[in-house]
Structure 1
């Protein structure tokens, strides 16, 4: 497994009443999941929303140009964070297995013109 050690600090946006311990826990779990990224993390943001029905954690990541978004909803912020982390790790492992989605490009053929000797 490739481990990317140079991570950027995620931007954290908080909505509603989120205790500092829950925010620290969410950032810690988010950064731990990003260690499974198959390439450099160019941008990372985390939204903690306690104002929504149920607690919600959204993660947005740009991994070498590929955008990844996951979310977790739970009865507590910790539960929502754990769901988000598991989904992010799964998505990052899938991205590692299939770096290019879609059909393979057709093979390139090179044609040379042959001059006939007359």
Structure 2
């Protein structure tokens, strides 16, 4: 199953984050979200260049189930790639075990 309609993530930045790093993080996040098992209700990204190492956090709500992943790297691109890989993994796991989420 592939979700074709995914909204643009809300983005927060800390420190000196170049616009191209933000665009790259959005592109990679949206790409991963197309593999969600249900409707993506909300997505937010935090790009932090002020932390030790560059860090990218993603918070996603898939049909009421919260998913949080992050990546830390020596560059914002490396951190984004790690975050995307972890997000895809979590979304695939959610697809295999759809009831694995917070209690209603």
Q: Same fold (TM over 0.5)?
A: yes
Give 1:109's aligned residue.
Answer: none
Aligned pairs (5 A) from 1:22-33: 22-33=21-32
Give 2:62's aligned residue.
Answer: 63
Alignment partners' CA distance in 2, 1:101 and 1:8 = 24
TM-score, length-scaled by structure 1: 0.84
Please tell me the root mean square deviation across aligned C-alpha atoms, in Å: 1.0
Misfit runs of 4+, over 6 Å:
none
- Stretches of structure 1 that go unaligned for 5 or more consecutive residues are 103-118
- Stretches of structure 2 that go unaligned for 5 or more consecutive residues are none
Partner SS for 2:28: helix
Alignment partners' CA distance in 1, 2:51 and 2:7 = 28
Deviation at 1:55, TM superposition (A): 0.1
Partner SS for 2:20: helix
TM-score, length-scaled by structure 2: 0.95
Deviation at 1:39, TM superposition (A): 0.1
Alignment partners' CA distance in 2, 1:25 and 1:89 = 16
Deviation at 1:101, TM superposition (A): 2.8
Structure 1 residue 46 and structure 2 residue 45: aligned?
Answer: yes
Instruction: Give a deviation string over 1:38-59, Cα, whole Å, max 9, x none.
Output: 0000000000000000000000
User: Which is greater in Rg?
Assistant: 1
Tell me, yes or no, if the aligned pair for 2:54 and 2:72 is still in contact at 8 Å.
yes
Q: How many residues align?
A: 101
